[in-house]
Structure 1
């Protein structure tokens, strides 16, 4: 590959104007340090490696893998990926609960550059997705770029040197830029309840499933009825002697159009790639229609009516139907799909409590309505800390302020979910207000196209510092929040994880996926303060 040609990015008129108007600043030279073998020590007192990376990617989940592939494709090779675990996978490595799978069809929940013919079902299961990510890593020879068992401890910007200093498990690293690709669903949300420390049985979160815990003939309390719970509840219900489900708000659970593809089907897709391309396009078109409805709730009214009718056919018991019927418009919370959840609710050993858990007294769990049950196991299906991303606890801005401290009384905001105010030379993948009902993989790929274009411009145009302009972030988020007010997320009558404690929607993108991808096509230097 001709590296010089690949990195030779032409200036647009806007880029040229921006660079002409930017103030030249000469960076202080970086002192060379003697290299040392990285050691995993408790106090992290390791000598700083002498190598200066152009980019360090943090996390080897779907976003980190895609970042590595796209960087390699353009000949941008002075980078590494650091990963806290001993294998790739991110959320698909961490979530191993029974029944774990994707709610986006497999054809779309795969990289555009690595289609797979191995999916056993229309909707892939967790083991298959993890295997797919490992296959892609091997296919594109990414292992040599990934440092496993190397967790980020903190990342700080050095204004004098215009560099990032990353303290990790294996020492301190320097980089001109950083891509934080740790994802939005990494830190399990654990409610703080009175008396929880008095519980004597087994207790774990669905994202940290305890496979050594034998659930056979146990009295099990499940807390929460979100995306994870509707998948694992049907799997554990036949095992339990009694299954108590605490539900603060009933979710919409629609039929899942899933079916096995079979060996003949997989062989056909392998031999005729056009089938998967058409399949992928059909799925994308279907999801675009769903997104249109989410942005225009009046078009969801017939869907609400039909969904309530369908629910009444699925649950004949009047009281259970009342407890399982959502009191908000479909789409206000995340759309859920399952064919076995409602049957599990109607099993003889299942008891649905339409209230949250408020207290634990020894092995007795107490609901908000005062109902009490003795249980042996508590499983938390309470989701993730999406409004306060865990990466914020490890990253400081240019003023030395920890992002988590800035976000603690609100929620994060960014430009195109990618660039954060006050955080130079850095990008966030799958950041605030970028989610549409589509594949996380597709959204991450679009963001990474934007990020790679920025890194290429930085190399070609030889600037050393860039930071999103404050007014760009403010204007973008003002328009975004105004547009969100008419979407089902904000007007559908629910309190979802899309909304922070103040009712601000920090997660959803209020326009079409096509508009998002168009805006992420290329970095516009006029949106940034540039130093060269």
Structure 2
């Protein structure tokens, strides 16, 4: 590879999987003039923040890890938070990335300077930085969302979001409410159920739950993964193929859906024998409309004598607990809000301004976030988003998607290095054509059949990629530079 004459200064925002993956792709290609800005004091993103009991990944870690940095001694197929965070720390240490990270640095403003073709960045502590290439990698699941319920500040007991778990609160013998039944709640409830006096799960809608094909890896597994790489690669490929087949069921091959629903239904019927509880836990919407969940211990936990599943809507939080629509007051010592994230508010709360002083929040104010290939926005030159609009996966590993994005952006950075002093902005007509193509694919997906965090207030699906992750890899494999307007300084 020919060494570039000069290297553009790249600033990456966020030291989660997206930011680290972007940095590694640049460094592995000899593009080393980059800095990662991280507002926290440690790397990890969601795997630093989410330390609630039972926190784990619902994608097998042989796939939920960098393809070029495999780990042969995972403790189990579905790894827990601490093991994933430790993996990330190990990768950062191996590639000496800590020296490239500025911790405690929160970017609040970013403005493109048309005279210099550079981005001017401002931080919460008053610093000012410049960048030739600006790469926000803050993710979609970084800002916890609290529910809009009257009286939420009035509760006198302990209350916190699952992503901001208060480990100083001892739940032993306590009356605990868990509000929400998503991916975090189904991990929390089995962990805390044995120790609490009583637990009430407040369920707005039942989830489609599939069995989790977990296994604890033995020393033999570790030996084979390390010394017989085809065994490790075969497992990774099998997991990849299974999840992409499930993804096809959400978009291109709807005939797959009934079979997946059948597996989930049999899992519920086999695990929950009480007719009343089973009825409460039976979804009333098509499979795939909301995030599918993988767990073996959630249903058994709900069937325990100290657990109640409450399906009546919440109308108010009171000083002593929760009031439901039937007028009943439920008293609790602790309330856990497992209510997800502000996933559709991409890049918030940063204020980002492109050419002509155009504010990104204004550009996305009507329909929500949209970007060419989920990465490039017209009028925002040399800005490329990691894990941007419509790049979340309904099935599969986000790490695979992030690697695709990092490889694509790396090509652009290399081109800017070979031809310095330019700016590249995706053409508006190209982004428009791409968006129409994307929305056409999204129109036939089950995500349109109910409300979920995949859709914004206008009903537009802004988060998910419609199809197999392999299709995204193909679409992003090589940069089509004709899709971009080029301007020299």
TM (normalized to structure 2)? 0.95
Q: Closer, same or farther in 2 for the Cα pair 1:354/1:525, shift >3 Å?
A: same
1:478 aligns with 2:436: yes
Question: Is the aligned partner of 1:86 residue 2:86?
Answer: no
- Counterpart residue number, 2:174: 218
Q: Which residue of 2 aligns with 1:455?
A: 413
Q: Which residue pairs with 1:18 in the alignment?
A: none
Alignment of 1:275-424 (within 5 A): 275-295=231-251, 296-391=253-348, 393-424=350-381
Checking the alignment, whether the CA contact within 8 Å between 1:223 and 1:245 is kept in structure 2 is: yes
* Counterparts of residues 254-265 of structure 1 (less than 5 Å): 254-265=210-221
Secondary structure, aligned partner of 1:395? strand
Aligned residue for 1:198, secondary structure, equals coil
Return 5+ residue gaps in structure 1 as ranges.
10-51
Q: May I ask how many residue pairs the two structures share in their alignment?
A: 485
Partner Cα distance (1:273, 1:394) in 2: 46
- The C-alpha deviation readout for 1:200-232, integer Å capped at 9, x for no partner, is 111100001101111111111111000000001
Distance in 1 (CA, whole Å) between partners of 2:335 and 2:42 is 29
Distance 1:446 1:402 in 2: 27
Contact 1:388 1:407 (C-alpha < 8 Å) held by counterparts:
no
SS in 2 for 1:222: strand
1:54 aligned to 2:51? no
Alignment partners' CA distance in 1, 2:323 and 2:361: 33
Determine if contact 1:54/1:177 at 8 Å carries over to the other structure. Answer: yes
How far off is 1:191 after superposition? Answer: 1.4
Q: Distance in 2 between matches of 1:312 and 1:280?
A: 30
C-alpha change, 1:357 and 1:393, in structure 2 (3 Å) is farther
C-alpha distance in structure 2 between counterparts of 1:208 and 1:195, whole Å: 20
Which deviates more, 306-315 or 514-523?
306-315
Distance 2:347 2:187 in 1: 25
Aligned mate of 1:116, from 50, 65, 71: 71
1:136 match: 91
In structure 1, what is the Cα distance between the partners aligned to 2:459 and 2:376? 23
For the pair 1:229 / 2:185, whether they are aligned, the reply is: yes
Once the 2 structures are TM-superposed, how far is the Cα of residue 376 of structure 1 from its aligned partner?
1.0
Shift in alpha-carbon separation, 1:381–1:408, aligned structure 2, 3 A: farther
Q: Which moved more, 1:382-391 or 1:219-228?
A: 382-391
Q: What whole-Å deviation, never above 9, does each CA across 1:160-204 have from its counterpart, x for those lacking one?
A: 221111112361111111111111100001112111121111110
Whole-angstrom distance in 2 between the partners of 1:401 and 1:383: 30
Does the aligned pair in 2 maintain the 1:99–1:125 contact within 8 Å?
A: yes
1:435 aligns with 2:392: yes
Contact 2:346 2:389 in 1 (8 A): no
2: CA distance, partners of 1:441 / 1:369 = 44
Q: CA RMSD in A?
A: 1.8
CA distance in 2, matches of 1:406, 1:203: 36
Deviations 1:448-496 (CA, angstroms, capped at 9, x unpaired): 1110001111121335111111111111111111111112222xx3222
CA contact (8 A) 2:376 2:385 kept: yes
**1:439–1:251 distance in 2 versus 1, CA, 3 Å:** same
Judge conservation of contact 2:149–2:317 (CA < 8 Å) in 1: yes
Q: Deviation of residue 324 (structure 1)? A: 0.7
What stretches of structure 2 of length at least 5 have no aligned partner? none
Q: In 2, distance between residues paired with 1:513 and 1:136?
A: 24
Counterpart position of 1:511? 467
Structure number with greater Rg is 1
Decide whether the 8 Å contact of 2:250 with 2:467 is kept in 1. no
1:521 Cα deviation from its structure 2 partner? 1.2
1:279-307 Cα deviation digits (max 9, x unpaired): 11111111121111111323212332343
Q: Residue in 1 aligned with 2:4? A: 7
Whether the 8 Å CA contact 1:393–1:404 is kept in 2: the answer is no
Counterpart among 30, 46, 60 of residue 105 in structure 1: 60
**Pairwise CA distance, 1:8:** 7.9
Alpha-carbon contact 1:453-1:523 (below 8 Å) kept: yes
* Equivalence for 2:122: 167
- TM-score (norm. length: structure 1): 0.88
Looking at structure 1, the residues matched to 296 and 475 of structure 2 have their Cα atoms a distance apart, in angstroms, of 37
Q: Distance in 1 between matches of 2:486 and 2:349?
A: 24
Partner of residue 179 from structure 1, selected from 135, 138, 143: 135
